[in-house]
Amino acid sequence: MAKVLKEEDLIKNGKRCDGRGFEDLRPIIVKAGVLKQASGSAYVEWGRNKVYAAVYGPHEVFPKHMTNNYKALINARYIMAPFSGLDDHSRSGPNRRSIEISKVAKHVFENVVLTNLFPKTMIDVHMEVMQSDGGTRVASITAASVALADAGIPMRDLVCGVSVGKVAGELLLDLDKYEDNLGGSDMPMIFAPRNGDLLLYQMDGMLSKDEVERAYDMALGACKKIRVLQENALKEKYKEVFEKIKGGENGNNQGSY
Amino acid sequence: MKNLVVPGEIVSEKPYRADGVFMEEGKTLSAVMGVVEDGRLIPLKGPYFPKRGDYVIGIIKEEGFYGWMADLHSPFEGKISARETREKFRIGDVVSAKIFEVDEVGEALLGEARRLWEGEVLEVEPAKIPRIIGKSGSMVSLIKQYAKTDAFVGQNGRIYLKGGDTSMAVMAILKICSEAHVSGLTDRISAFLEKGGKD
């Protein structure tokens, strides 16, 4: 009979089950502008997580009676694909969990998008999880933020996030599926890294006050690294064109735009 | 020296009000992707905000007792008052118009509305329109001259082309859009047009 994985098995000789240290992120790939039809789009590969995000609008509000004369509405939709590895998430489609994540994502974007510039309009933010391996909400919001910037929607900052949790008595950064399911506690956080604003803060399980403070510092430090990846993804397209034209002329990429 | 920025990066140490920026703690920060040049942000992307005095190309999408509503390739619509025009429009007509007024919710009141006959309409990123027009219309006149086409550039990201080699004009405009952030644009476009639309 196969051995049942237990919380203690997740940490061996000061390493995690996938070989990471306690404060290491999974490898992250961010790409911007992957979908042609959308106003803006992004793709994030975060360890084994694969997430697409697309932004449409700002456009006319539907249903019309929801119209706000002072600001734009944000319609966020997080959903997991039926083949994303649902396991105990039961069947696919909108469910309690995805409605909750859509709601918290909406509040994140309401706080960074300059919605007052677009009265009587609506911005659709779609986040589609293609493959899941723990931490999809932070991966989705990280992707959606790049998609919003790619759509040219004015924002105060790019947002990104990471989860911190406690497994076998140790605080770990960026939990994967097993650490999330078997561990003692999981705390996803979304930041605006420029000024350190905390925009989403949820927690399962228990942490002491001291641990929460340490977890906060770990997450903020990691978010500053993720922001650099987001920036590079957005700039990549423009840099490619620049290098194609200027690279041949003088052989270096240090010139001005 | 120009510099590529993403939302949340510093544009200038002094606060000022402009498109695509916001102010925080006495500084100006970028709200959209753009290129910073001498403390000014030139947005690379973003929707069109109607502004008084702009010439735009709209597509009629609604008819009412007051006149017509036009789609402006923007989150906001344009209203053509029946009193302001002698022409009658039908849904789907392409019109050129001037923005007379913009109200507090961003809706534009259009005047001097004229129907555009025949020709083609090209939709591009509104943020690139200043580069397509060029300094006092130099770029668009270059395209007109080489492609022997009649062009009317709407500030809202629609370009009306009629007659001549429109496919060459379209190629040139798309080239401008993809290379607008790299210096020496006029030279590359005129070289491109001289070769008859080939790189």
Question: Lowest-pLDDT range, A246-250, B171-175, B185-189?
Answer: A246-250
Partners of B75 on chain A (C-beta within 8 Å) are 57-59, 72, 118, 121
Residue A142 has pLDDT above 70, yes or no: yes
Between A150 and B85, where is the model more confident?
A150
How high is the pLDDT of residue A12?
Answer: 87
User: What is the residue extent of each domain of chain B?
Assistant: 2-43, 55-115, 120-194
How high is the pLDDT of residue B1?
Answer: 45
C-alpha pair distances (Å), B185 with each of A48, B147, B173, B177:
42, 18, 11, 10
Same fold, B2-43 and B55-115: yes
Q: How many CB pairs under 8 A join A and B?
A: 95
Question: Lowest-pLDDT range, A2-6, A56-60, A150-154, B28-32?
Answer: A2-6
Identity of residue B166: T
SS (H, E, C) chain B: CEEEECCCCEEECCCCCCCCEEEECCEEEECCCEEEECCEEEECCCCCCCCCCCEEEEEEEEECCCEEEEECCCCCEEEEEHHHCCCCCCCCCEEEEEEEEECCCCCEEEEEEEECCCCEEEECCHHHHHHHHCHHHHHHHHHHHHHCCEEEECCCCEEEEECCCHHHHHHHHHHHHHHCCCCCHHHHHHHHHHCCCCC
* Chain A contacts to B (CB-CB under 8 A): 40, 57-59, 69, 72, 114, 117-121, 149-158, 192, 194, 230-231, 234-235, 238-239, 241-242, 245-246, 256-257
How high is the pLDDT of residue A104?
Answer: 96
How high is the pLDDT of residue A251?
Answer: 44
Residue A62 has pLDDT above 70, yes or no: yes
Fold of the domain spanning B2-43: OB fold (Dihydrolipoamide Acetyltransferase, E2P) (2.40.50)
From the CA of A149, how many Å to the nearest CA of chain B?
6
Q: What residue has token string 């009658």?
A: B88
* Mean pLDDT for all residues in chain A: 90
Span B120-194 CATH architecture: 2-Layer Sandwich (3.30)
Alpha-carbon torsion, ordered B120, B133, B46, B154, to 10 deg: -40
Question: Lowest-pLDDT range, A121-125, A225-229, A246-250?
Answer: A246-250
Phi, psi of B24 (to 5 degrees): -150, 130
Q: pLDDT class for A3, splitting at 50, 70, 90?
A: confident
Q: What percent of chain A has pLDDT over 70?
A: 93
Residue A239 has pLDDT above 90, yes or no: no
Q: pLDDT class for A247, splitting at 50, 70, 90?
A: low
How high is the pLDDT of residue B105?
Answer: 85
User: What is the complex's ipTM, to 2 decimals?
Assistant: 0.90
Pick the CATH number of B55-115 from 2.40.50.140, 3.90.420.10, 3.40.50.10860, 2.60.120.460: 2.40.50.140
Question: Lowest-pLDDT range, A17-31, A57-71, A74-88, A98-112?
Answer: A74-88
pLDDT tens digits for range A171-201? 999 999 999 989 889 999 999 999 999 999 9
Partners of B76 on chain A (C-beta within 8 Å) are 120-121
CA A23 to chain centre: 18
How high is the pLDDT of residue B93?
Answer: 95
How high is the pLDDT of residue B195?
Answer: 85
Q: Which residues numbered 91-120 in B keep a CB inside 8 Å of some CB on A?
A: 104-106
Taking alpha carbons only, the member of A125, A180, A132, A188 closest to residue A161 is A188
User: What is the residue extent of each domain of chain A?
Assistant: 18-241
Q: Looking at residues A143-150, what average pLDDT do you find?
A: 97
How high is the pLDDT of residue A255?
Answer: 47
Pick the CATH number of A18-241 from 3.40.50.300, 3.20.20.30, 3.20.20.70, 3.30.230.70: 3.30.230.70
The SS3 of residue A224 is: helix
Residue A162 has pLDDT above 60, yes or no: yes
Residue A148's closest chain B neighbor by CA? B32
Q: pLDDT class for B171, splitting at 50, 70, 90?
A: very high
How high is the pLDDT of residue A253?
Answer: 46
Residue A242's closest chain B neighbor by CA? B182
Question: Lowest-pLDDT range, A14-18, A89-93, A239-243, B190-194?
Answer: A89-93
pTM to 2 decimal places: 0.92
Q: Which of B32, B105, B183 sits opposite A154 (nearest CB)?
A: B32
Q: Looking at residues B118-125, what average pLDDT do you find?
A: 92
Residue A158's closest chain B neighbor by CA? B7
pLDDT tens digits for range B129-158? 999 999 899 999 999 999 999 999 999 999
Q: Looking at residues B161-186, what average pLDDT do you find?
A: 90
